[in-house]
Amino acid sequence: MADRSGSAEDRLIARYFRPLARHPGTFEFKDDAAAITPPAGHDLVLKTDGLIEGVHFFPDDPAASVARKALRVNLSDLAAKGATPLGFLLAIALPKGFSEHWLADFARGLGEDADVYRCPLLGGDTDATPGPISISISAFGTLPTGTMVRRAGAKPGDHVFVTGTIGDAALGLQVRRNAAMASQWKLDDVMRDHLVSRYRLPQPRNALAETLRAHASAAMDVSDGLAADLAKLCGVSGVSAEIDIARVPLSPATAHALKTDATLIEPILTGGEDYEILCAVAPSSVAVFEAAAAKAGVPVTDIGRIVTGDSPPGFLDRAGRPLAFARPGYSHF
């Protein structure tokens, strides 16, 4: 967050981002870089993920929720890896003629979540772009050395758990794109707002980080869809899985929509942006994992088992038949 004395850029940084310089190692963004002292005996967990206007958010989404989503998608990865947030860097590119009101709202939302998740802004970069608003966040977490929860590590017999509910954000995105979907799915206003808010503002499961470190054999967050992400976890673990579709936890809104249109099961399982945690837990650890999750206030649901083999995970209907997906998960290209 270089200070460009006297320039318009400097003024923007001073006005909107300097109030977020709450970590002493930021030097109030009046230096070229931040300096932090990592806790002894700990590893750093590093992650970068970005949002682009028109790709990851709508131009008329509230700027504060765009900022919070940009941070939260990264916090979700830290949570899945078992890490405690340490701080983040922000790179933001703004079109010429952007609204300062938008930026003020963005910085306010960012600062609120930085406080809530105890993940301070450590520095950044602002640029002008001829393209859409682009936000890139690099987030850092810490955990005792060597304890990062890996994707690789799931073993045959492990129970497969997910947190919260699956599919809300995928349906919320469809409603956001086409408001008529809400009436087509016979949703009341509360249900519709629930789905859209789940798309707009992920609820990262940082409260579960310690429990995952203690009890999960493998974990990741669900960003590209439960089916695709489970396939990745199984792939690097050298295993497969069998999931009971009926046990996949759904919110009342998503369950209601699915009842009106059974084909929605595909976007529910593949649509992504859930930002829930998917993990594998050894049978001997299941009871203590469930108790620890309950204590942390995070709902977890056992949805199936890790099995041997290298075939893609099977999502089984009530008759035990595997579902075939037309489009297994989100890809940008």
Return the number of the residue (52 or 307) whose C-beta is nearest a second copy.
52
* In the complex, least distance from residue 259 CB atom to a second copy, rounded to whole angstroms: 31
Instruction: Copy the structure tokens of residue 249.
Output: 């936890």
Backbone angles phi, psi at 12, to 5 degrees: -60, -45
Are 272 and 228 spatial neighbours (Cβ–Cβ below 8 Å)? yes
Return the number of the residue (128 or 179) whose C-beta is nearest a second copy.
128
Q: HSE-up of 225 (CA within 13 Å, CB side)? A: 20
Binding residue count for a second copy, defined by CB under 8 A:
83
Under rule CB under 8 A, which residues in 57-116 are in contact with a second copy?
A: 77-78, 80-81, 83, 87, 89-91, 93-94, 96
* In the complex, least distance from residue 257 CB atom to a second copy, rounded to whole angstroms: 26
Under rule CB under 8 A, which residues in 16-55 are in contact with a second copy?
A: 25, 27, 30-38, 40, 43-50, 52, 54-55
Cα of first residue to Cα of last residue in the chain, in angstroms, is 31
The sign of the CA dihedral 5, 7, 10, 16 is: positive
Return the number of the residue (53 or 290) whose C-beta is nearest a second copy.
53
CA 100 → CA 4, 16, 97, distances in Å?
18, 9, 9
- CA dist 56 and 32 (Å) reads 30
CA 269 → CA 135, 266, 273, distances in Å?
27, 5, 11
Under rule CB under 8 A, which residues in 231-290 are in contact with a second copy?
A: 231-232, 235-236
Residue 115, amino acid: D
The binding track of 137-166 with respect to a second copy, each residue x by CB under 8 A or -, is -x-xx-x-x--x-xxx--------------
Return the number of the residue (107 or 250) whose C-beta is nearest a second copy.
107
Under rule CB under 8 A, which residues in 119-138 are in contact with a second copy?
A: 122-132, 134, 136, 138
Q: Does 220 bind a second copy (CB under 8 A)?
A: yes
